Structure 1
Amino acid sequence: MTLQTELPPAPETDSELVTSGAFDAKQLVASLPQAVRKLNPRDQARSPVMFVVFIGAIITTALAIWHPSVFAWVVTAWLWFTVLFAGLAEAVAEGRGRAQADSLRKVKRDTVARVIGDDGSITSVPGSELTVGMRIVVEAGEVIAGDGDVVEGIATVDESAITGESAPVVRESGGDRCAVTGGTVVLSDRIVVRITTEPGQTFVDRMIALVEGAARKKTPNEIALDILLTALTIIFLLAVVAVGPMQQFAGEAADPIKLIALLVCLIPTTIGALVSSIGIAGMDRLVQRNVLAMSGRAVEAAGDVDTLLMDKTGTITFGNRRATAFHPAPGVPADELADVARLCSLADETPEGRSIVDLAGAHFSTALEDRGLEGEAGSVPRAQSRGPERSDGSPLVTVPFTAQTRMSGVDLDGVQYRKGAADSVRAWIGADATDVDSIVDDISSRGGTPLVVAAGTQVLGVVELSDVVKPGMAERFVQLRAMGIRTVMVTGDNPLTAAAIAAQAGVDDFVAQATPEDKLELIRREQAAGRLVAMTGDGTNDAPALAQADVGLAMNTGTSAAKEAGNMVDLDSDPTKLIEVVGIGKQLLITRGALTTFSLANDLAKYFAILPALFSTVYPQLDALNVMHLHSAQSAIVSAVVFNALVIVALIPLSLRGVTYRAVSPARLLRRNLLIYGVGGVITPFIGIWLIDLLVRLLPGMG
């Protein structure tokens, strides 16, 4: 007989990889003062393209003062607007970060900590004077004065000021949920925290510095793009310088203002103005999702990831395995198996132990009552010797679960009852459990975990624990596969269980019985083959692999060692969020590529607008290239300059939200990029310049 019960419905998961970041037009107005401050020459010099525009604006200003005209002043004004709008794009992105940083500053409080001395005495010390290694005691209602690890006790903590989540979290000594953050509040119980960071270097301090962009450095892709833009700028600069002598040779006086306008319109000003805002916005989108990236390089690396390592428990599966079925050995009644399994779990405080008690109690509620041992999991105190007595006075000795024995149970009426891993129970009874070997193998092959139950030397049967794959995971792995990312599940389970879960989840590969050394070796092997690797982790044993990975996403609930080793920290401690991080990295790269394509493509229209205008009086044949039928040379140049400035403002929202990324093949991605932003970059300026010309021709001096 096999008794089974239905699992509770699994919570729904978000199927969206990346959602657009919010954009508010009011941000443009609020960021104007900061944009004006960015007119400082030192700020302009950071972008070679915009520095050329900046110098051009200064020169045209001097020329307009020397020989004033409507044409000269209009061109000058719009060149300054171009420089201003470029600063505005970066100021808006930085402003969003500062707003988030202001909210984080509210978390910082100059609290008084109660420090435990070596002799056990407690002294009150200002939080700003805490040093690494100090131990502080924090009780319910008190603020944790600094970052650290819980070394004693267990408590619920309110971290809403940092994560935005209203639900409290549990922090306890030992394990992977011991890290606490300064500024959070203990809601219940009492804990002792060992400080792990110096004042001014806390997690909140680093978050503030990072979201403000103050510590942000250019990524390799940004540097490569800067080199490309600089090269194009130099090429066009030499070409425009050569136009002047050509005009004089053709018998037409060269106009420096026209040449400067030509240079500004031909160099890739659009992407040059937006490249900084794109990078800052990429990090900002991660912060909106409660992921703190330690550098822009980590965000971009996520976009180029080839191999993704994910832990099974808590990432691919829900984590807490539950008892779902009892499988009695031949000739053993099901109620006897359930009775002993529940008896062996009374002192087992793990989620698995509680689920066995729940399952047995739901269907065999009278079995333990007959023994006088009614109760719930954990209700029997742990003991290694004589323990509580039954209602008839006989002694009960509980045997708690340990990592060494991998068994738990009780000694009652001269009989030893045990439940645990199959190989551990075999070793304990000193014989093979041949009666249930097929059951054990069947459960393992289906991805479950078998626990063998024995009374003395008799095997009574097997309890099946199921680790359920989260809904939607298979679909997500399909999306990652479409991105060209190979997924690897890493688990400490046996190979049979690992293979079953891997097949059910749809990952490309798995590593069973993995040790920290195995994880590190796998990452190094992938990197040696030229691949970028990402992984998640929360424990101290994950720290080496997190540090080695190109993208290491550490959980905020994890140990300080894990958070220090990773280059990203997930404040929500949701390991599956790494999939979103990869999507945001892809989105950052495709946004920069799309806007670069648009910027280079719209130069084509400017050629048709300005070059015929420069030589139309000397070579009337060039008027055939005036396909937009622009009114005059002056109006054509002014229209091109105005469009050049306005398109930067028009693309600021796109640079902040990012181009929507879909998990498609690189070929389709390139084709979409060329069709939308390449063709669009050619067509849009023709329409825009023509419309602007209709208005510009009304100005005096544009005939």
Structure 2
Amino acid sequence: MVWLGTIVTALVTIDPHLFGTIAGERGQQRLLNGIITLILFFTVLFANFAEAIAEGRGKAQADALRSTRSDTMARKILADGSIESVSSTSLGRGDRVKLVAGDVIPADGEVIEGIGSVDESAITGESAPVLKQPGTDIASSVTGGTRLLSDELTVRIAQDPGQGFIDRMISLVEGAERTKTPNEIALTVLLAVLTQVFLIVVATIPSIGNYIASFLDTSLGPAVADTFRAGSSIAILISLLVALIPTTIGGLLSAIGIAGMDRVAQFNVIATSGRAVEACGDVNTLLLDKTGTITLGNRLADEFIPANGHNLEELARVCLAASLFDETPEGRSIVALARNLGANLDIDGQPGEGVPFSARTRMSGTDRDGEEYRKGAVEAIKGFVRSRGGSVPASLDQARERVSRLGGTPLAVCRGNDIYGVIYLKDIVKPGLKERFDQLRRMGVRTIMLTGDNQITASVIAAEAGVDDFIAEATPEDKIEVIRREQSQGKLVAMTGDGTNDAPALAQANVGVAMNSGTQAAKEAANMVDLDSDPTKLIDLVTIGKQLLITRGALTTFSVANDIAKYFAIIPTIFAAAGIGPLNIMGLKSAQSAIVSALIYNALIIPVLIPLALKGVQFRPLTADQLLRRNILIYGVGGMIAPFIAIKIIDEIISAIGLR
């Protein structure tokens, strides 16, 4: 609407009487119309400038990502086992490629053979290489554009050309999929209604003006009537409309949304849409995994606690046997502690066969010399022992309770149907989390910790971390159940995940943040991807989302307050000659100068607010009612006062230089 008004005022600058004869000298009208056209032009320019700055940041990030994507040659493994050199753009889902040290990984895929270190700095910014190997959800996923640093890998391609992770990231940060969020749509409707109201006000002014002018013609003389008619010229009416309609927030609305996605990107998180960022601000419930999110994640074996009549030496030997094939930090720490206690195994012959950990069985171990060595969750080991005809001693529960009260994780250990004792894995809660959870609580966000630990351990960790609730002995299915339960109560839920078994829950959650180190299924199900694979960022994302909503609300409040103030500043000056001059409390010189002053203020306030729109309003962990009161006080009252002061100053300047 503003650009259309600019065109019309440009036309009446060329011919002031284009839409009918008006009072006043042609040269004076042309000057006034020219000034109005120039101000309107800068209003459009400033509004576009705000969005251009925000989009420019996204395009710069897209260019950086695009530089990592290149058309490389790949060694494609054919059906007969031979290798053919092909372009990476010709690879499709299901193709297998051979990679050697120094190769750029041609496309997203899954490692099916080999082991090697991959440089993912082009994606994550982290220089430390990442070990990739088959057989696990996390370590088997590779991203196109990253580089293999050592050894050899065979990779199965998971995406067709143009659909890889980097391609989707480029599309997202460039704004190709930028759509209005529900809140933006609602705000746009509000602005449209306000525009219609002020349009009706302005449209009725000429008819009212003609009636009043005819009255003034007989009562106060033609000179006064002509002065009044001059205030109803087409250029003045357009200026009045532009000054009154909410152009400020209209010009900044897109910039606020784009800047929100940009702030998320600065945290090294890619959002699929502005809707995802905005949803973070509306989140009521956070689901947080204990390991890696609330605790440091590297649980280490601190002590072996014998049970069932066994001594420490026997327990250490069984712990060593059960952990021979466990390459996790916990497994390696168990092996180290067992060997420090003197445990040793004769592995000259067959070392046995490893049994990997499963989220369903919740245990791992070794099958060796006809014996089954297992370690895992206490309840899982109890079930395993009973299934082999064994019994569970009371000393096992005593050892578990002792570890749980220390806030550690107990792992039961058995050989066949004989329980040997408990491993104490020490958990360390990340520093500073309790204060952050307190902030979230003040904002009305409820935190729920999910853990595979037993009730006692979970309660100790939950109390130390300061979460609102916890779910012990949780399975992947429990996540979806909790999400659905919270959503059925009208709450918005956010969670993090990295494995294929997390994909359904990530898709169900209102905000699902997948780790970049996670599987392709998890990344496709989520609406955000954390390139640093740091689950604690979920807390930061909630803060960013709330800051986005607060910024939009604050600037909307300021803009609407501005419009109301400008209305009561300008309208009395237009009808001053009709006997309502006393309402011109600011003493503005004339209707023309008042409208032009408001128009200048209207144009200048946009670039003044651009830094605030891009950076965001300062965030404070307050409740919704407290934030509303704060916004009304600062941006509502401030939005009413600022136009009165600025318009008065500009009006005095215009009068001083003789442009009344």
TM-score, scaled to structure 1: 0.83
CA contact (8 A) 2:576 2:584 kept: no
Change (3 A) 1:405 1:568: closer
CA contact (8 A) 1:325 1:464 kept: yes
Equivalent residue, structure 2, for 1:666 = 624
Quick one: distance in 2 between partners of 1:396 and 1:125?
Answer: 42
Amino acid at match of 2:252: L
Equivalent residue, structure 2, for 1:383 = none
Q: CA deviation at 1:505?
A: 2.2
Change (3 A) 1:405 1:521: closer
Quick one: distance in 1 between partners of 2:600 and 2:416?
Answer: 90
Q: 1:71 aligns with which of 32, 37, 61?
A: 32
Deviation digits for residues 304-323 of structure 1, max 9, x if unmatched? 11222222222222223211
1:513 aligns with 2:513: no
CA contact (8 A) 1:546 1:553 kept: yes
Indicate the SS of the match to 1:246.
helix
Q: How does 1:208-223 map to 2 (within 5 A)?
A: 208-223=170-185
Quick one: distance in 2 between partners of 1:405 and 1:688?
Answer: 68
Structure 1 residue runs of 5 or longer lacking an equivalent are: 1-51, 374-386, 390-394
Deviation digits for residues 432-475 of structure 1, max 9, x if unmatched? 33344311222234442323456898765432112322222222
Indicate the SS of the match to 2:578.
coil
Equivalent residue, structure 2, for 1:590 = 550
Amino acid at match of 2:347: P
CA contact (8 A) 1:307 1:487 kept: yes
Change (3 A) 1:419 1:268: closer
Indicate the SS of the match to 2:128.
coil
Equivalent residue, structure 1, for 2:560 = 600
Amino acid at match of 1:534: A
Q: How does 1:109-188 map to 2 (within 5 A)?
A: 109-177=70-138, 178-188=140-150
Q: How many residues align?
A: 624
Indicate the SS of the match to 2:58.
helix
Change (3 A) 1:520 1:338: closer
Change (3 A) 1:701 1:318: closer
Q: 2:331 aligns with which of 345, 350, 353?
A: 353
Q: CA deviation at 1:701?
A: 3.7
Quick one: distance in 2 between partners of 1:535 and 1:329?
Answer: 38
Indicate the SS of the match to 1:462.
strand
Amino acid at match of 2:106: A
Equivalent residue, structure 1, for 2:574 = 614
Structure 2 residue runs of 5 or longer lacking an equivalent are: 17-28, 214-227
Q: 2:517 aligns with which of 538, 557, 566?
A: 557
Change (3 A) 1:429 1:468: farther
Indicate the SS of the match to 1:493.
coil
Q: 1:269 aligns with which of 226, 238, 247?
A: 247
1:406 aligns with 2:368: no
Change (3 A) 1:288 1:119: same
Indicate the SS of the match to 2:633.
helix
1:699 aligns with 2:654: no
Quick one: distance in 2 between partners of 1:218 and 1:87?
Answer: 17
Q: CA deviation at 1:63?
A: 1.4
Change (3 A) 1:361 1:627: farther
Amino acid at match of 1:658: G
Q: CA deviation at 1:91?
A: 1.0
Q: 1:536 aligns with which of 492, 496, 501?
A: 496
Q: CA deviation at 1:607?
A: 2.6
Quick one: distance in 2 between partners of 1:78 and 1:415?
Answer: 87
Change (3 A) 1:586 1:435: closer
1:388 aligns with 2:347: yes
Q: How does 1:27-46 map to 2 (within 5 A)?
A: none
Quick one: distance in 2 between partners of 1:297 and 1:602?
Answer: 28
1:643 aligns with 2:597: no
Equivalent residue, structure 1, for 2:612 = 654
Amino acid at match of 1:124: S
CA contact (8 A) 1:153 1:173 kept: yes
Deviation digits for residues 648-681 of structure 1, max 9, x if unmatched? 0111111111112221111111111111111111
Change (3 A) 1:268 1:456: closer
Deviation digits for residues 544-601 of structure 1, max 9, x if unmatched? 1111111111111111111111111111111111111111111111111000000011
Indicate the SS of the match to 2:547.
helix
Structure 1 window deviating more from structure 2 (76-85 vs 684-693): it is 684-693
Two-structure CA RMSD over aligned residues (Å): 2.6
Q: CA deviation at 1:514?
A: 3.0
Identity %: 57
Equivalent residue, structure 1, for 2:46 = 85
Amino acid at match of 1:442: R
Q: How does 1:286-435 map to 2 (within 5 A)?
A: 286-329=264-307, 334=312, 337-338=315-316, 341-342=319-320, 345-361=323-339, 364=341, 367-368=342-343, 388-389=347-348, 398=352, 400-403=354-357, 406=363, 408=365, 422=378, 423-424=381-382, 426-427=385-386, 430-435=390-395
CA contact (8 A) 2:286 2:448 kept: yes
CA contact (8 A) 2:355 2:365 kept: yes
CA contact (8 A) 1:409 1:419 kept: no
Quick one: distance in 1 between partners of 2:55 and 2:463?
Answer: 45
Deviation digits for residues 99-139 of structure 1, max 9, x if unmatched? 11111110111101111122221111101111111011212
Change (3 A) 1:452 1:516: closer
CA contact (8 A) 2:593 2:659 kept: no
Amino acid at match of 2:164: T
Quick one: distance in 2 between partners of 1:635 and 1:595?
Answer: 27
CA contact (8 A) 1:179 1:556 kept: no
